[in-house]
Structure 1
């Protein structure tokens, strides 16, 4: 909840920064009802990056959207970059997230919900899917919702960060991550540099929202908007240089791998094919967490 100009010492350059080991341009595809998303994680070139299952950059205008659909076995994190989305589920949870707001939804054993534009014009944002460990897949659903004004912030030496989860510049987010995760939105002014530690053993990636930057090595070729950069497992953290004449904005996410089998069938992510079959039957017959699914409609 805190805001800071950070009295913590500036992060020093790493002796061994993490390298960029894969660079992927997100491609537009249809999703939901008339909606367009740019998907990076979740495509065949990058099926998942344990514990991350999917990353979409969405761009949606009315009447398109994401009408009633189920989830089981993971979390969805929706971060609004522009506009507003209204969410409602079969348990009566309803709310609208606007520019800068975050909804961290733990689907657990079962959610049926809708996500639809709440204002005119184009609504833009990022949706990240984070896997749950087998022991957590059937927990009760829960939400963590933060308005933009309540997201932890820090700023130092031309670098501003909004800390959705984890810690940067000595400032920590209040969000609880069942699967240990860090998730941040950085804006770097021209000429600035960043050296952000990442816990050893965690998988990490960068998604560039706007501008261009040099990632990993100071002599690397610049990467531009809509690219997903997968970082190598070895190294102390992420090093970035903004050598351009315009601001650079990107998301950094890192998570502790679960090292468990991933079996996915659309909106259900479990550990075995039998569990997926069970999820599909539970949804169809309205049981084991989906009891309210058959008689509920967001349009009602």
Structure 2
């Protein structure tokens, strides 16, 4: 690999291209919150192992009051402002711009996510499915503060490595479903050639600016589903910075049955989950007496 640093572009054997481009349009969610949903829209139901991607924009008193989850993980990455999360086990934390919370809901969490600062709070929330063997595990959290997120910079491209690896730098985050999550900011005139495991599903979400991904141009609030391949090339030919996340994950290849905030493998498991939640059992015991 030592030689390739001087080359214009590493030649990927199978460069990834954009197979689907969807604009995430704003919709109302929670209590007065506005979200731009990309994955999870009717035209992009899911992208195994990813169930949903929302770019949220919320000002107090709006937010996401007490609600349950089971069977997957929520990854919340703050872009602006701050959000306080609290759950029925007594876990409480506030994440600010650049911070991340990786919550494995497993068998059951009831929590609230509410603005913790003046003005508009913005961020991305990604839902990652769990394999059937892990759906009923105990909930857990990983919280990474901005200062602890690995960074690397090369030729006008800055990477924040939330999960996986870029420019030879690896993230400390543990991902139960193998996942990469990279936040890139590219200066005008820069280019990026980022390897991606060949068989994984991967997508780009453009946060701001515009760029050329493979052979496709895209601007803010677009999600780009990528073909299979061993890497993605991106060029910033505009005169402003380009910021996007590149996310990839290993497919679970299992049936997905979703009912709102519950994601299982069969309809029977969803029925069971609804009963468990209603009767505060099998992971929802603490919901009986709790409110945020």
What interval of TM-score do these two structures reach, taking the shorter chain for normalisation?
Answer: over 0.9
Matched residue, 1:43 = 41
Counterpart CA distance in 1 for 2:257 and 2:14 is: 35
1:17 is displaced (CA, Å) by 1.1
- 1:246 counterpart = 2:244: no
Classify the secondary structure of the residue corresponding to 1:257. coil
1:14 is displaced (CA, Å) by 2.5
- 1:211 counterpart = 2:209: yes
Equivalent runs, 1:263-278 vs 2, <5 Å: 263-278=257-272
Matched residue, 1:77 = 75
Determine which of 269, 284, 287 is the counterpart of 1:290. 284
Counterpart CA distance in 2 for 1:16 and 1:138 is: 37
Determine which of 53, 56, 71 is the counterpart of 1:55. 53
Matched residue, 1:232 = 227
Q: TM-score, normalised by structure 2?
A: 0.97
1:223 is displaced (CA, Å) by 0.6
- 1:138 counterpart = 2:136: yes
1:92 is displaced (CA, Å) by 0.2
Contact 1:42-1:48 within 8 A present in 2 as well: yes
Determine which of 86, 93, 96 is the counterpart of 1:95. 93
Counterpart CA distance in 2 for 1:9 and 1:76 is: 36
1:269 is displaced (CA, Å) by 0.1
Counterpart CA distance in 1 for 2:271 and 2:30 is: 22
Which deviations, in whole Å up to 9, do the C-alpha atoms of 1:154-205 show, x marking residues without a partner?
0001100000000000000000000000001000001110010000110000
Contact 1:13-1:239 within 8 A present in 2 as well: no
Equivalent runs, 1:16-27 vs 2, <5 Å: 16-27=14-25
Determine which of 177, 182, 185 is the counterpart of 2:183. 185
Counterpart CA distance in 2 for 1:294 and 1:32 is: 21
RMSD: 1.1
Matched residue, 1:223 = 218
Determine which of 168, 171, 174 is the counterpart of 1:170. 168
Q: Note the residue ranges of structure 2 that are not aligned, 5 or more in a row.
A: none
Aligned length: 287
Counterpart CA distance in 1 for 2:136 and 2:218 is: 39
Matched residue, 1:160 = 158
Q: Note the residue ranges of structure 1 that are not aligned, 5 or more in a row.
A: 1-7
| Distance 1:9-1:176 versus aligned 2 partners, 3 A rule | farther
Determine which of 117, 120, 123 is the counterpart of 1:122. 120
Q: TM-score, normalised by structure 1?
A: 0.94
